[in-house]
């Protein structure tokens, strides 16, 4: 089993013997999407999952959030089996999914409203997180008045507002330009560190995986299974821009490329 060495601590999220099958459209046979998935992530860790398209990365997040159930095995969050949507887990996707008819503050507060948090407390949480995500003064704006990067900052603030134990992030910066992406990576790293959050991060950007993570889990082609775990030994996870300058970055990226069997003609970066 791929897991942290701190066995005495209850993992923030854990996959034990997980397998996922889907019914194939128009066929009697099932498609095996992921198999023999075993790993655990400790509280406060940031772990990236990389692998070929279609290998089951997003499926793992869906099972971790309770949006899908394993065909076999168990997923646990904070030691409890995941059997449905879980209040300890929050999802952030490539699309910000902000509601255009609500202000940015109202978007950030949406999950808190669903939990019947009093209005004054919602406003305090929204104001604090918008400032932390470098959106101070934009609470009364609407999503169409913000740039793509600012919208993703708002989506991050909304994700953090419900105070999840685990953040599941499915390529949240892939649609952004390179400069904006690096700025958002820095914002995410600093915020996650200060808030003490656990993150499971899916990306196709190998440098992003290295700069943001404590560990990187590498998946095989479908049916996806874990083929390697790499511990990132570059210091300063809370400062990915500094990590990008470290001479070991290229070595890690080369190692990941070899594991994924990428060549110069691959479109995965």
- Residue ranges and CATH numbers for the domains of the chain are 1-88+167-172+200-263 (3.40.50.300)
Lowest pLDDT segment from 94-98, 181-185, 264-268: 264-268
For 21, 53, 62, the CA distances from 24, given in Å and listed in that order, are 9, 18, 18
Q: What is the pTM (predicted TM-score) of this model?
A: 0.88
At 120-169, the pLDDT tens digits run 999 999 999 999 899 999 999 999 999 999 999 999 999 999 999 999 99
Cα–Cα distance between 265 and 262 in angstroms, integer?
8
Please count the residues of the chain.
Answer: 269
**pLDDT tens per residue, range 187-199:** 999 999 988 999 9
Q: What is the mean pLDDT of residues 7-32?
A: 84
Q: Which of 132, 127, 133 is nearest to 106 (CA)?
A: 127
Q: How far is CA 27 from the centre of its chain?
A: 33
**Banded pLDDT at 175 (limits 50, 70, 90):** confident
User: pLDDT, tens digit, for every residue of 61-84?
Assistant: 999 999 999 999 999 999 999 988
Sign of the CA dihedral with 230 first, then 235, 239, and 243 last? negative
Closest by CA to 188, choosing from 152, 161, 224, 223, is 152
- How far is residue 190's CA from residue 169's CA, in Å, rounded to a whole number? 16
**H helix intervals, the chain:** 57-65, 104-108, 110-114, 119-132, 148-161, 178-195, 206-212, 240-244, 248-260
Interval 125-136: pLDDT, tens: 999 999 989 999
pLDDT in tens, 179-189: 999 999 999 99
Q: Which residues pair with 167 in a beta bridge?
A: 90, 199
């Amino acid at each position: 089993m791929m897991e942290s060495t701190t066995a005495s601590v209850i993992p923030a999220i854990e996959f034990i013997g997980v397998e996922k099958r889907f019914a194939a459209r128009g066929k009697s046979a099932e498609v095996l999407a992921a198999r023999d998935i075993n790993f655990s992530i400790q509280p406060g860790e940031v772990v990236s999952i990389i692998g070929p398209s279609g290998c089951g990365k997003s499926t793992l997040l869906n099972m971790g959030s309770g949006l899908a159930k394993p065909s076999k095995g168990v997923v646990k969050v904070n030691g409890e089996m995941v059997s449905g949507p879980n209040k300890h887990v929050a999802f952030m996707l490539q699309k910000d999914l902000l509601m255009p008819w609500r202000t940015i503050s109202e978007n950030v507060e949406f999950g808190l409203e669903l939990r019947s948090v009093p209005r004054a407390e919602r406003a305090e949480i929204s104001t604090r997180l918008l400032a932390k995500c470098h959106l101070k003064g934009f609470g009364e704006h609407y999503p169409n008045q913000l740039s793509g990067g600012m919208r993703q900052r708002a989506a991050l603030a909304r994700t953090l507002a419900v105070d999840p134990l685990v953040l599941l992030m499915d390529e949240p910066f892939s649609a952004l330009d390179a400069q904006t992406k690096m700025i958002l990576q820095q914002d995410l790293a600093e915020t996650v560190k200060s808030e003490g959050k656990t993150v499971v991060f899916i990306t196709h950007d190998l440098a992003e995986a290295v700069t943001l993570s404590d560990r990187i889990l590498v998946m095989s082609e479908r049916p996806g299974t874990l083929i390697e775990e790499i511990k990132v030994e570059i210091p300063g996870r809370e400062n990915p821009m500094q990590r990008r300058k470290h001479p070991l970055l290229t070595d890690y990226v080369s190692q990941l490329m070899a594991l994924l069997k990428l060549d110069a003609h691959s479109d995965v970066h």
